[in-house]
């Protein structure tokens, strides 16, 4: 535990908003990679519940998903002793610095954000101010912890770029205050696609359906989803990695490779001459076995309210120590009277 804030280690931070149940994509594309970095980096991972408020949620669902996400982080291998895991709203410094950074982020910059344009198109009846200023809060999430690296998917890179601009602007005005972070896209397991629509990403806020596998899905549901997965229509019916012409098969191969560690060549050899009727259930079985311990552990943690509370409290305390150090500096620099 001592090495958690060791100055020798680089700092890494990321968050996921609890707007839907975590999927196989969230696990293979993000959390699994995070878990492998704990020794090398000083890591902060949070549930971005304040960000979730930019869309309408059922309050009970949001609460459940936030805690479930925390339980799933741990179940996926993020050791709470080695990583700082916390709920964003439990560290008020995020909202506090978020306000300040709103005042250093330009209307024009926010207007150019693709996520804002996409989400406003999708939620035409609820284009609220939070959706617009979302990147300023995200900049606060990041800059509070002075991270070196921020692992994010491609869709979030623009927000990290904006964070860098805001940090540089602030530093130019007031002297070195924030570390300017780098976005970072891991190469492996980078994009898991929808099983029924392999040209679009498997997403946690999509309609619940057979195209998306969630971490808490029951084995029989996972098996069914893989049996129904789209393969290809070229009539070749052979397991070959060709993302351009056979995106469904390529996606299934990426998933199989990520959970078994086999290379694409090994997979092609293993299923040579066997056809999709054998391949699809085999991928399903491999995923079931990979997710089984995660689901069981997450269910166990969800039932242990005392442990969950301890996790929340310890994580928030540890995060707050770092976050308030930065916030105090910022308040002083901009001219707020010390309490
Ligand atoms: P939403 O649909 O609510 O916008 P999402 O499911 O796309 O969310 P995010 O919360 O945007 O997920 O992503 C959290 C992290 O998980 C990001 O780093 C993202 O790159 C990664 N991730 C999410 N879905 C996938 C996927 N299908 N394949 C690979 N990585 C993914
Ligand atoms: N905006 C991100 C979630 C998010 C985040 C962050 C990611 C909120 N704050 C800080 C990295 C760092 C998303 O929509 N996936």
pLDDT tens over the chain, length 339 residues: 444 455 679 999 999 999 999 999 999 989 999 998 998 999 999 999 999 999 999 999 999 999 999 999 999 999 999 999 999 999 999 999 999 999 999 999 999 999 999 999 988 999 999 999 999 999 999 999 999 999 998 889 999 999 999 999 999 999 999 999 988 876 655 689 999 999 898 988 777 788 999 999 999 999 999 999 999 866 778 899 999 999 999 999 999 999 999 999 999 999 998 989 999 999 999 999 999 999 999 999 999 999 999 999 999 999 999 999 999 999 999 999 988
For the full predicted model, state whether its pTM sits above 0.85: yes
Beta-bridge mates of residue 192: none
DSSP bridge partners of 183: 150
Q: Is 98 in the pocket of ligand 2 (CB under 6 A)?
A: no
CA distance 326 to 198: 43
Q: What is the pLDDT of residue 7?
A: 60
Question: What is the distance in A from the centroid of ligand 2 to the CA of 86?
Answer: 14
Q: 215: Cβ below 6 Å to ligand 2?
A: no
Q: Report in angstroms the alpha-carbon separations of 157 from 76, 82, 152, 153, 323.
A: 24, 26, 7, 7, 22
Q: Does the CA dihedral 271-272-273-276 come out positive or negative? A: positive
Total residues belonging to the chain: 339
Return the pLDDT at 188: 55
Query: Beta partners for 306?
Result: none
Catalytic residues, by residue number, are 119, 201, 204
Query: Residue 183 Cα, ligand 1 centroid: separation in angstroms?
Result: 15
Q: What is the pLDDT of residue 40?
A: 93
């Amino acid at each position: 535990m001592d090495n958690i804030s060791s100055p020798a280690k680089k700092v890494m931070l990321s968050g996921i908003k609890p707007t839907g149940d975590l999927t196989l994509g969230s696990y293979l594309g993000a959390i699994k990679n995070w878990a492998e970095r704990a020794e090398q980096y000083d890591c902060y991972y949070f549930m971005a519940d304040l960000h979730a408020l930019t869309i309408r949620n059922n309050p009970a669902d949001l609460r459940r998903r936030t805690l479930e996400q925390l339980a799933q982080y741990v179940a996926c291998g993020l050791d709470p002793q080695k990583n700082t895991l916390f709920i964003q709203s439990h560290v008020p410094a995020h909202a506090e610095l978020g306000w300040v950074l709103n005042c250093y982020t330009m209307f024009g910059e926010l207007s150019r954000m693709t996520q804002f344009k996409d989400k406003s198109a999708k939620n035409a009846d609820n284009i609220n101010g939070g959706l617009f200023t979302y990147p300023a809060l995200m900049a606060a999430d990041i800059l509070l912890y002075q991270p070196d690296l921020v692992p994010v998917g491609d869709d979030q890179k623009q927000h990290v770029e904006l964070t860098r601009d805001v940090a540089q602007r602030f530093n130019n005005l007031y002297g070195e205050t924030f570390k300017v972070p780098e976005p970072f896209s891991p190469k492996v397991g980078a994009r898991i696609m929808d099983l029924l629509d392999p040209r679009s990403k498997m997403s946690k806020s999509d309609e619940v359906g057979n195209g998306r596998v969630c971490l808490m899905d029951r084995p029989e549901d996972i098996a069914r989803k893989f049996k129904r997965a789209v393969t290809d229509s070229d009539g070749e019916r052979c397991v070959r990695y060709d993302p351009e012409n056979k995106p469904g098969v390529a996606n299934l191969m990426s998933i199989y490779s990520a959970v078994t560690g086999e290379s694409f060549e090994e997979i092609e050899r293993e299923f040579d001459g066997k056809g999709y009727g054998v391949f699809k259930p085999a991928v399903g079985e491999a995923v079931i076995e990979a997710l089984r311990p995660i689901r069981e552990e997450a269910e166990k943690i969800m039932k242990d309210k005392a442990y969950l509370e301890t996790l929340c409290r310890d994580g928030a305390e540890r995060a707050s120590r770092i976050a308030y150090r930065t916030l105090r500096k910022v308040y002083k620099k901009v001219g707020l009277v010390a309490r």
